[in-house]
Structure 1
Amino acid sequence: MEKTISTRRTRILDQNYVMAKLENLKPEMDELVQELKKETAYAAKRFGWDEKQARLMFNQSARKIWKELIIRDNCHPFKTSILLWVQIPLWIAMSMSFRNMASMMPHQDAAAQVLFMELSTGGFGWIPNLTEVDHSLILPVAMGITNLIITEVNVLSRHQEGSKLQNIATNVFRVISIAVIPIAATVPSCVTLYWFTSSMCGLAQNLAMMHPGLRQLCGIPQSPIQRENPYQHLWTQLQKKMTKKRKKDGKN
């Protein structure tokens, strides 16, 4: 588990670094696009391009410019998704490992029996046996709520209204956060505890990486998406959202 958290911590720093670099490229890209529009309009008149051909040449040139910029600053957008592609296999592997330990799989040898005994007697609080499910549902519900909070934090920290695709993705994550609760209620408590711990680490890291001082300490460059008071902004956005919802409910 410590290795998983360490890997995630490193990847989230890389992700924030690349995102900041990409944001800092946008003003430069906007200026180059404006120049490109003028050059394309001039070339269209000189060479007699129609609108379709002019748009095609503009798009090709714009893509080439953007590619050169991200190569220059070594901040390809794909790098922002590496955390996801690394985390998912690790999450699956760790979940299967805990499940196997709680079931003495795949071989019920001496080592498996020792691990099983440690889990069955090394519980805490309301879960003395980590090989059994959490009948109180505290861990499954806590994990679901934590995942919902992570989703809402991402929504509230946006700098502009989400696109249609982003809103769809947000609703999908909300549904998944709720749907995983009954699943977590049917697996051994050690698996649910790992899921909950992973979610809490993710929430803590997301909140921590909003802090300007920590971002500077980690070598993440300043960008337009960085706020001086990010936590105050989250609270303000939450209040606005709740007020808007109350007004909407009042009208209904």
Structure 2
Amino acid sequence: MCAISSVANSFLQNQQCLKLTRRSASTEVAQLASAGGLVGFWQTLSNSTPVAYMQDAVTQIHDYSGLPWWASIVLSTFIFRSAVTLPLTIYQHKITARLEKITMEMPAIVEELKREAAIAKQKFKWSEKHTQIIFRRSIKKQWQKLIVRDNCHPMKTIIVLWGQMPLWIFQSVALRNLVYMLPDPTTLKAQIIATELTIGGFGWIPNLTVVDSSYILPVALGLINLGIIELQSMSRARKPTRLQNNATNVFRVLSIVMVPVACTVPSALCVYWVASSSFGLAQNLLLLSPEVRRAVGIPKTETELQQPYAQIWHKIQERAYIAEVPAKPSDKTAAK
């Protein structure tokens, strides 16, 4: 009797959660409708073919693995990122390394072109302005030849963005659909999945259809994203440009902004976002290793860190004022 009563109570609680989930979905749709054209965009994205495939893939991983929903979300995240973003990131590192190598070839080429331009100026009686035009045109032509030779167009350095952003959006919308029983809340499959999500959590978030009221996952998300940005900043061998500093600051702000956003979405989305960011952090740490870089075919460059983990740890200590910061030559001179 106690067991039956427990099952009955669990069933009633799940039905209550389903009603609340439907009410939340209706409220969200109503809010989107008041936003005018935004509802059309969300409906189109929610009903799109890529989202449907992603939704089905996540469901299949859960069914075949037999894992609870939170673990299925983490597993699917690692699978998709390993299949899509990891190869693209390795390819991006290869392109960046090739670009650095041809950049090192350019000074000798520029000097040769300077000599040729000076000879041509005297021979053909060119003006200074015309000589400079021909000189710059020749440099651009030689740069293009090197890019074609090594197949490393600079636009390829943002290839990860074109793979990771759609993946992140499609999986986020797919999980949102599962939580809100979209695109058709009347189907039995959608209702079963939504019920499973209400008991498919862990620890302090047993119900994945509600927000994480403890704010543990949102704060963890912000910290991990900040960790990725700081890791990329500290792994630069050269002094960052003003543009790079501005971009770093923008991403720092976005990482902080994501925390209150994560506080308003179902925990299923938070679990996915934290898992995705954790994979990104581990991926960046792994690809700092010279051994790993050689193993995946990334060429060695002059700016590559030889002892990346020791150097990054020292930079962390410097930022925390634990290790002594080496004095600059100007500082030593001033001290004398």
Alignment TM-score, normalising by the size of structure 2: 0.70
Distance 2:173 2:180 in 1: 10
SS at match of 2:202: coil
Task: Identify unmatched segments of 5+ residues in structure 2.
Answer: 1-76, 326-336
By how many angstroms is 1:48 displaced? Answer: 3.1
Q: Which moved more, 1:169-178 or 1:234-243?
A: 234-243
2:180 aligned partner, one-letter code: S
Q: What is the CA deviation profile of residues 95-119 of structure 1, one whole-angstrom value per residue up to 9, with x for unaligned ones?
A: 1111111111121111211221221
Q: Report deviation, 1:168.
A: 0.8
How far apart in 1 are the matches of 2:121 and 2:319?
Answer: 48
Equivalent in 70, 76, 79 of residue 153 of structure 2 = 76
Question: How many residue pairs end up in the alignment?
Answer: 246
Q: Deviations over 1:32-61 (max 9, x none)?
A: 112112212222233333333222222211
CA deviation map 1:100-153 (0-9, x unaligned): 111111211112112212211110111101111111111110010011011111
AA in 1 matched with 2:305: R
- Indicate the residue corresponding to 1:224 in structure 2: 302
Q: Does 1:35 align with 2:35?
A: no
Query: C-alpha displacement at 1:235, in angstroms?
Result: 1.7
Provide the alpha-carbon RMSD of the alignment: 1.8
**Paired residue for 1:146?**
224
Deviation beyond 4 Å, 4+ runs, structure 1:
none
Tell me by how many angstroms 1:76 deviates. 1.4
User: Aligned partners of 1:201 and 1:11: how far apart in 2?
Assistant: 14
Matched, 1:10 2:87: yes
Distance 1:228 1:205 in 2: 18
Q: Specify the alignment match of 1:89 in structure 2.
A: 166
Corresponding residue number in structure 2 for 1:57: 134
Gaps of 5+ in 1: 248-252
Say if 2:172 and 2:269, in contact at 8 Å, map to a contact too. Answer: yes
CA contact (8 A) 2:229 2:251 kept: yes
Whichever residue aligns with residue 104 of structure 2, its letter is: P
Q: Is the 8 A contact 1:15 1:83 kept in 2?
A: yes
Distance between the aligned counterparts of 2:246 and 2:221, measured in 1?
22
Cα distance in structure 2, aligned partners of 1:96 and 1:61: 49
Structure with bigger gyration radius: 2
Specify which of 116, 124, 131 is matched with residue 47 of structure 1.
124
- CA offset at residue 175 of structure 1? 0.3
Which of 261, 270, 290 is equivalent to 1:192? Answer: 270
Whole-angstrom CA distance in 2 between matches of 1:51 and 1:134: 68
Contact 2:235 2:305 in 1 (8 A): no
2:237–2:305 contact (8 Å) kept in structure 1: no
| Secondary structure in structure 2 of the residue aligned to 1:122 | coil
Give the Cα separation in 2 of the matches to 1:67 and 1:39: 19
State the identity as a percent.
Answer: 45
